[in-house]
Structure 1
């Protein structure tokens, strides 16, 4: 068996808007000079990993479109407006910059979206009011803490925070696994939602496996909410070696 592919998973926030579902936090303008300098610092740190492939959170069916934009970015050292891939996104701000730095010919989209059941929160609110109140309080407190942290820290400090193992474990427990208990007599609403979430991460793993070769050094740039599941899957696959992201932040 050849050398394992080394996988570096960077859990990130949405540079355009933190969260798209229960938690929505404004993160400010990532294109201002101060934030651009902070992003360049992160890129320089990540470059020490020396990735030979970069994988990002975008539907793998959009590979052609992604790499047309990336190719123009590398050729002209500038971004051409595209509805699918925003200039402000972490795909461009981190992925494109690193890819250009290492003369990568392409960027790899490895996402495969799934539909999460919408009935979950409707059922909880109607039938389990105490659990609903507790969960929404957790969400509110979480949002306040994250908003303050983002407001008062640099991009690198935010990413170190998001990739802290203790924070990842607490988020996975409190915002995901906590919902497994939501059920009626014959319908496991919470388990159904979690099944779809884990299913999506298994699709991501499969797409990552399909691009990985022996000895690769792959940087995976993904929403931090995926970290716990993706890290576990990468650890458990014997052709991959999970690399500690905090060594590169």
Structure 2
């Protein structure tokens, strides 16, 4: 059995076998993907540090959300993806369209379902592949090997991010918070904390690697579902926790035939 160590050979073969001119001129239109990194509206408390969000069902917040959905609709989406499992998203969106879904504070419903219904889409794509990060062994390793400053730095940066988001939400509103969350510098800074975790390990004991690898695998799984749910010419909007932003944008950006759209150009200011 052959074991492939890379796909470079495949790429080289492709490059040495050019398509006829007619086929090259008939390239399909790109699939455009806008990834909207969000905070969790319903306060599920599932992240390492969590933003406290006031009641998004209150009239003031509903007006803000309506304005955001209206602005995003200018993208004319042909598909919407959300951070739910496929079966849950499909069932709930069907009820939502019928007006039979109970009131929900979840950003999937408030933003994803609302945009999909506004665009008259028949379905919403559930893209999530949930996974629990094995963070505790990494923390234990840090504590027992003089690496606690790494955990302290992750905590400090996370707390600072949450404080900035809470300040934006309190003083400027949901749209301003989304603008902050979708800033690439901020997103990359948060993503870089997973690289810090790679320092937690020695020899065959690699708890930091396990956390990071689990996170990467989850995001690759989400991107796989995104690619499988789209076709050439689609215009997809994905609503997902902002921590996923860097890896999902990278996956879309590096996939042939896909074009990444900056959500900040559509989120109201």
Change (3 A) 1:2 1:120: same
1:88 counterpart residue number: 105
Please say if residues 176 and 194 of structure 1, whose CA atoms lie closer than 8 Å, have aligned partners that are also in contact.
Answer: yes
Corresponding pairs, count: 239
1:224 aligns with 2:247: no
Q: What is the aligned partner in structure 2 of residue 84 from structure 1?
A: none
User: Compared with structure 1, are the counterparts of its residues 165 and 134 closer, same or farther at alpha carbon in structure 2 (3 Å cutoff)?
Assistant: closer
> Does the Cα contact within 8 Å between 2:81 and 2:238 map onto a contact in 1?
yes
Of 96-105 and 227-236, more deviation after overlay is shown by 96-105
1:181 aligned counterpart, secondary structure: coil
Instruction: Choose 21-30 or 66-75, whichever is displaced more.
Output: 66-75
Deviation at 1:200, TM superposition (A): 0.8
1:33 is displaced (CA, Å) by 0.5
Q: Deviations over 1:106-165 (max 9, x none)?
A: 111011122322311122133223333333333333333333232222111100010011
Supply the distance in 1 between the matched residues of 2:153 and 2:89 (Cα, whole angstroms).
41
> Residues 82-122 of structure 1: CA distance to partner in whole angstroms, max 9, x if unpaired?
xxxxx111111011111111111111101112232231112
Give how far 1:19 is off: 5.1
Distance 2:162 2:262 in 1: 26
Instruction: Confirm whether residue 153 of structure 1 aligns to residue 176 of structure 2.
Output: no
Whether 2:65 is the aligned partner of 1:39: answer yes
Secondary structure at 1:36's aligned position in 2? helix
Any conservation in 2 of the 1:18–1:27 contact (CA below 8 Å)?
A: no
Map of 2:56 onto structure 1:
30
* Corresponding residue number in structure 2 for 1:108: 125
Structure of greater Rg: 2
Larger RCO: 1 or 2 (CA < 8 Å, sep 6+)? 1
Query: Which residue among 162, 166, 173 is the counterpart of 1:143?
Result: 162
Q: What's the offset of the Cα at 1:228? A: 0.4
Q: Deviations over 1:7-41 (max 9, x none)?
A: 00000010012752320231111110000001011
Residue in 1 that maps onto 2:96: 73
The residue correspondences of 1:1-249 to structure 2 (distance < 5 A) are: 1-17=27-43, 20-60=46-86, 62=87, 65-76=88-99, 79-80=101-102, 87-117=104-134, 118-127=136-145, 128-173=147-192, 175-249=193-267
Give SS of 1:134's match: helix
Let me know the Cα RMSD of the aligned residues.
Answer: 1.7
Is the Cα contact below 8 Å between 1:66 and 1:107 reproduced in 2? yes
Change beyond 3 A, Cα 1:153–1:125:
farther
TM-score normalised to the size of structure 2?
0.83
Decide whether the 8 Å contact of 1:18 with 1:25 is kept in 2: no
* 8 A Cα contact 1:18 1:26, kept in partner: no
Instruction: Say whether the 8 Å CA contact 2:80–2:238 is kept in structure 1.
Output: yes
Secondary structure at the aligned position of 1:88 is classed as: coil
> Match for residue 9 of structure 2?
none
TM-score (norm 1): 0.89
